[in-house]
Structure 1
Amino acid sequence: MRAFLFRILVVLAASIAPLHAQDALPDDDPHVPLLQGTLSAEGDQEASDAEVTARPFPRDSLLEPWFAWKQDVQERTGLTFGGSYGLLHQNYSDSLIDQQNSTGAKLTLNMAYELFRKGTPEALVVAVAVEDRRPMFGSDQPPLFAGFGAGSLVPTAATWGQFDLGVTQAYIRQNLFGNRFQYTVGKIFAPNFVNAYPFFDDNRQFLSQAFSTSPSIQSPLRGFGAVAAWYPTANGLYLQAGMYTSHSDDTGSTVDDFFNTSEHFYHFDIGWTGRPRAGLPIAARGPTDSDNIHVSGWYRNAQDDGTPKSHGVAFNVNRMVSERTMVFFRGGFSQGWAVEKTLAGGVGWRPTGQPSNLVGIGLGWADPAASVLRPQYTAEAFYRFHITRNLAITPDIQAVIDPSTNPDESVLWVFSLRARVTF
């Protein structure tokens, strides 16, 4: 019990992140924070708070006094905290496991605290996330597994899985030398850093993994690792590298695996980034890298259980083409992994007058390594709209064409409805 209470206290201390660090950069500074994705503990909270401060909304939230108090605590102490609760329902036009419907729930508590150099862009931040994910309302499988069961090669809801309440992230992070050097160490969610881009968050954006984390990368999930980024010049060029244990544990520790085994995942990125645009980013998240091009190389050691080594290359291009519109094009190639080749492209558009609302359309292709499986095509469209500043509803439709593991179907339709409240 004492260990559990300690975890909760640490989590509540880590959701408090410096929301002003990005704004402290000069307008012409190319050294964009790269290691604060929205599926990290503090990045998730920053994105939620960005949505809270955006206007206008159809009506005020009942939690307005709570948000004002949180902001006051953050300004006085350097502690940021909060959380979210989400529900996702998916309906499949066909399913190999005879589960036509699946509902999943996510509870997330985030915390971040500035240990040193409080109130500055170079603050040393400790961040923690506590999460709980499960199927709901009689569903046998949560959406992550039900989508596989329906016959899709890639998840139809990439992070909507199942595990009991526990610490899923706990790390330290710091930006140094005017953001020219950035690092994160601890228990982290590796897809935050591997070939990441602004539309990879299935809490707020696309649900299919065809448009979130690259299906061609055999990335670990939650485990101990370290990642660093460096800007060697002043024109936006950056280098980023990470090393993680190959062993994922949603709510447990993998420190021993990192230091006592040779089973690791490595990646190295080289890219160019443009300065984020003023105002609320197109993806309604905190530090959005609005104009980016990068190439990611990765390698995963062979495992003691006989799993062979794997490696590959992936790329990403995303760019703002107007004040409210971003386009993206991504792809990858691998050897030794289940998905051998992928391509995806799409657009995100922020409707006029509703700065947190978002429309997304994507088209993707995935080619499995197994020759007995056919290539799969995925089309997805969603519209996220806010009822209040902290309550968003997202209808979503996916057309999975030639689903790889459901050969009797030409089109697998996936209809989704997502609701998410932040607090």
Structure 2
Amino acid sequence: MTLEALRCVSPVVRPVASGAVLFFLASFCASAQSSSTDQSQTLSGYGEPASLETGDSVTEDLWIDNHRVDGLFTFPRLQKFFAPWFDWKKRINNKYGLELGFSYQSLRQEVNRTLGEDKAAAARLQLQGAWTLVGRGTKNVGKLTFRLEERTTLGTTIPPTSLASQYGGIAPSGGFSDFGFAFTELAWRQALAEGRLRFVIGKISALSWYNGHALSSSLRGFQNLALQSSLTKPSPGRGIGGGVAYEFTPHFGVVAGIHDANATTAGNPFDTIGEKEFYQSIEFRYWPTTPDRRRWDVVRLQFWHQDALAAKGVPAGKGVTFLASRLYHDKWFPFFIAGHSDGNASLMKTDVTAGLGIAIDTEHRVASDVIGLGVSWGDPSNPALRNQITTEAFYRFTLVQNFVITPSIQWVKDPAATTAFDDVLTAGIRVRVTF
């Protein structure tokens, strides 16, 4: 299996490369090498993004979803039927510099032991785009990015983000909520100095920017948030914020950002920014190999501070996180995460996580399936809670082009918020369709 095959990851794919939730610099650095995408392997001809974010970011989603990936079953007539749609998107981009992406994804989970609800399901419908208005054809591009979402439960009382609390777990078992309709992103991204300096400002995410790896995405990789990044850092919603990134050398870069600490993803960002309470972060990054592998081969060291949140009664807090990941032989993807905080502003005081992604070769397919295995130990900030161990395993495969299925199983040892159970199993199934 080749590195190029691993890069053909879409939410509809199964990559060990599935697009990392590496804050906005990973992609900014990838753009510095201006890698090209084989047009015969794309649906609408979108190139690799020259942006600050990856993972669940708009620009990375558009690029990943655009890859042509064969599924377990192929229906040439169906693909021919949808071809004019992708050709139209290509013409719009060529003429106006506007890339568009649509997707539908759902997650259903059930637990074997509970204090309340035993199942949860939710769906996410997304429309997103990136409009290049400055510097088309150069490295110093300026883009307006946007995302509209509709999130709702599917026949259950609660969404997956609330299921863990039903058995005393404190790490959410799934990244699917039910806030309804919301404009979850509207931001400007600008590259300068031939792509080495980048900044972003607007309504953006603070979660996926720091301490993420290539299987952190709730849409592509692990579901449980304990396996995505350290829970010793705060988790404000999408709100007003900004960041700047600079690549000093091909192997070293720095990312710094400031975000509204009171932001709620579905809320009006101007309702909370007036509190002037912020989450600030600086992350140092080292890339040991070549620029085209920065999504996977990276070492990150983050320092953060959050102001006291007066209305919520949360004192000021600070902490540090560490992450190291590496892709070996385009197949094996081990990662390690650790974090520590003063316990004032985050879910965990200390946690340690290790995992492995394995690309499984498949015959007559553009990319391979992926198996994900991970385990996390966490010491909660609340001293009244017990230490919790969280594990997850998933298998991701494309059934047909643009349709991916991911069954998963989670095992939680000693749920932190209760002594009623010694362990709990959570079974899940996630589907994603892109067009």
TM-score (norm 1): 0.86
- Alignment correspondent of 1:47: 64
How many pairs align?
Answer: 386
Equivalent position of 2:33 in the other structure:
25
Is 2:170 the partner of 1:153? Answer: yes
Change (3 A) 1:328 1:81: same
1:300 paired with 2:306, answer yes
SS of 1:294 mapped into structure 2: strand
Distance in structure 2 (CA, Å) of the matches to 1:140 and 1:111:
32
Secondary structure of 2:129's aligned partner: strand
Bigger drift between 299-308 and 269-278 goes to: 269-278
Alignment of 1:269-280 (within 5 A): 269-274=283-288
Q: Could you tell me how far 1:35 is from its partner in structure 2?
A: 2.0
Kept in 1: contact 2:124–2:151 (CA 8 A): yes
Deviation at 1:331, TM superposition (A): 1.0
SS at match of 1:231: strand
Check 1:331–1:222 CA distance in 2 against 1; reply closer, same or farther (3 A cut): same
State yes or no: 1:338 paired with 2:357.
no
**SS of residue matched to 2:195:** coil
SS of structure 2 residue aligned to 1:69:
helix
Change (3 A) 1:409 1:104: same
**Amino acid in structure 2 at the alignment position of 1:347:** L
- After superposition, the Cα gap between the structure-2 partners of 1:239 and 1:387, relative to the gap in structure 1 and judged at 3 Å, is same
Structure 1 residues 88 and 276: alpha-carbon distance in aligned structure 2, compared to 1, 3 A threshold: farther
1:104 aligned residue: 122
Matched, 1:113 2:131: yes
TM alignment of 1:394-405, pairs within 5 A: 394-405=406-417
CA 1:197 to 1:175, structure 2 compared with 1: closer, same or farther past 3 Å? farther
1:277, 1:290 within 8 Å by CA — same for their partners in 2?
Answer: no
CA spacing shift, 1:37–1:87, aligned 2, 3 Å = same
- Output one character per residue of 1:283-322: Cα deviation in whole Å (capped at 9) or x when no partner: xxxxx61210011011110122222111110000011121
- TM superposition shift of 1:21: 10
Name the amino acid aligned to 1:297: F
**Structure 2 residues without counterparts, runs of 5 or longer:** 1-26, 36-48
Alignment of 1:281-296 (within 5 A): 289-296=295-302
Q: Sort the Cα spacing of 1:240 and 1:277 in 2 relative to 1 into closer, same or farther, 3 A.
A: closer
**Mapping 1:291-370, distance limit 5 Å:** 291-305=297-311, 306-335=313-342, 336=344, 337-353=346-362, 354=365, 355=367, 357-370=369-382
In structure 2, the residue corresponding to 1:350 is in which secondary structure? strand
Aligned to 2:385: 373
- In 2 relative to 1, CA 380–192 (structure 1 residues): closer, same or farther, beyond 3 Å? same
CA distance in 2, matches of 1:103, 1:187: 27
CA shift in 2, pair 1:56/1:385, >3 Å: closer
Q: Which runs of 5+ in 1 are unaligned?
A: 1-18, 282-287
- Change in CA separation of 1:249 and 1:56 when aligned onto 2, cut-off 3 Å: closer
Matches within 5 A, 1:43-122: 43-50=60-67, 53-55=68-70, 58-60=73-75, 61=79, 63-97=82-116, 99-122=117-140
Counterpart secondary structure, 2:163: helix
Change in CA separation of 1:20 and 1:174 when aligned onto 2, cut-off 3 Å: closer
Structure 2 residue aligned with 1:268: 282
Q: Confirm or deny: 8 A CA contact 1:247 1:254 kept in the other structure.
A: no
Tell which deviates more after alignment, 205-214 or 412-421: 205-214
Distance 2:188 2:131 in 1: 10
Checking the alignment, whether the CA contact within 8 Å between 1:21 and 1:121 is kept in structure 2 is no
Match of 2:224 in 1: 208
Q: Which residue of structure 2 lines up, in the alignment, with residue 6 of structure 1?
A: none
Q: Structure 1: which amino acid aligns with 2:319? A: G
